[in-house]
């Protein structure tokens, strides 16, 4: 599933990103790498997501979140 399909307060692990090279590198520099846990904090009607990534809150547009493949994280 892609990140934009996730539920609010759901925790997901990144399995792949199909983004433009510069966008993907920027997200990796911010800490979004494979197996990173992401929590969806808020979803807007236009598709924008507020996420928690390694303790920092980020906003992602629908055009980006649709290209980040995730799976639900297992409880640790």
Q: Please compute, for residue 60, the number of CA atoms within 13 A of its CA located in the half-sphere on the CB side.
A: 28
Place of tokens 């990103």: 17
Report if residue 18 sits inside a domain. yes
- CATH no. for residue 40? 2.30.30.90
Domain count, the chain: 1
Output the pTM of the full model.
0.89
**pLDDT for position 24:** 96
Give the pLDDT of residue 75: 64
- Residue 74: pLDDT band (50, 70, 90) is confident
3-class SS at 59? strand
Give residue 25's domain range. Answer: 3-67
pLDDT tens per residue across span 20-60: 999 999 999 999 999 999 999 999 999 899 999 999 999 99
Question: Nearest to residue 54, comparing CAs of 30, 70, 76?
Answer: 30
Is 76 a member of any domain? no
52 vs 6: CA distance, rounded Å: 13
For residue 61, give the nearest of 20, 29, 15 by alpha carbon: 20
Answer whether residue 72 is part of any domain. no
Residue 61 pLDDT grade (very low, low, confident, very high; cuts 50, 70, 90): very high
């Amino acid at each position: 599933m892609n990140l934009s399909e996730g539920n609010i307060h759901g925790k997901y692990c990144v399995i792949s990103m199909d983004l433009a090279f510069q966008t993907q590198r920027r997200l990796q520099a911010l800490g979004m790498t494979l197996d990173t846990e992401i929590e969806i904090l808020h979803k807007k009607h236009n598709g924008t997501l507020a996420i928690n990534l390694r303790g920092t809150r980020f906003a992602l547009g629908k055009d980006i979140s649709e290209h980040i493949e995730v799976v639900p994280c297992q409880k640790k």
